[in-house]
Amino acid sequence: MSRRVLVAGMGNDLRQDDGFGIAVVRRFAEAGAPEDVQVLEAGIAGIGLVQELMDGYEALVIVDAVDRGGEPGTVYLLEAEVPALEEISSESRQEILADMHLTVPSKALILAQALNVLPPRTYILGCQPKTCGLGMDLSEPVEHGAGEAVRRLRELTSRLVRDPVSP
């Protein structure tokens, strides 16, 4: 039986705050993910996320650093809006499909939707980064945001497992 909810940590943990998603899903898993929640460290390999989605899930939560122009460390919960592949220009489609090994979540979500494996409920739990230079430590505000994100992820996944269509 497939899990109901997939939590995927995205980003590069060798680039400071870009590793936010990886840090959060590791902490979430170490504390014990709720039953029926699968945790995946997708890193920067979007194709791995799409392949995992082929197992069938009712909901997806991507955890990643997101630049929304806010204060560093601000945590956002966003419902993903994924355009249909036919709504995207031919040039943009070629760019999306050119290299799926190293890709941003938005490209992976478009491919998952085109393959009919994107769950009906898809969220992004993100944090405003401060710095994404070379290094393995999160900045102080993003470290604080990671703690908040783990708490919010636990609440969200618990609700999604109970009722994946109404967060």
135 phi and psi angles, rounded to 5 deg: 155, 160
Looking at residue 138, the DSSP 8-state letter turns out to be P
Class of domain 5-162: alpha beta
Residues contacting 89, CB < 8 A, separation 6+ = none
Q: What pTM did the predictor assign? A: 0.88
Q: For residue range 139-148, list pLDDT tens digits in order.
A: 999 999 999 9
* pLDDT over 70 percentage in the chain: 87
**Residue 97 clears pLDDT 70, i.e. is over it:** no
More confidently predicted of 100 and 36: 36
CA–CA gap between residue 145 and residue 163 (Å, rounded): 26
Beta strands 121-127 and 75-79, pairing class: antiparallel
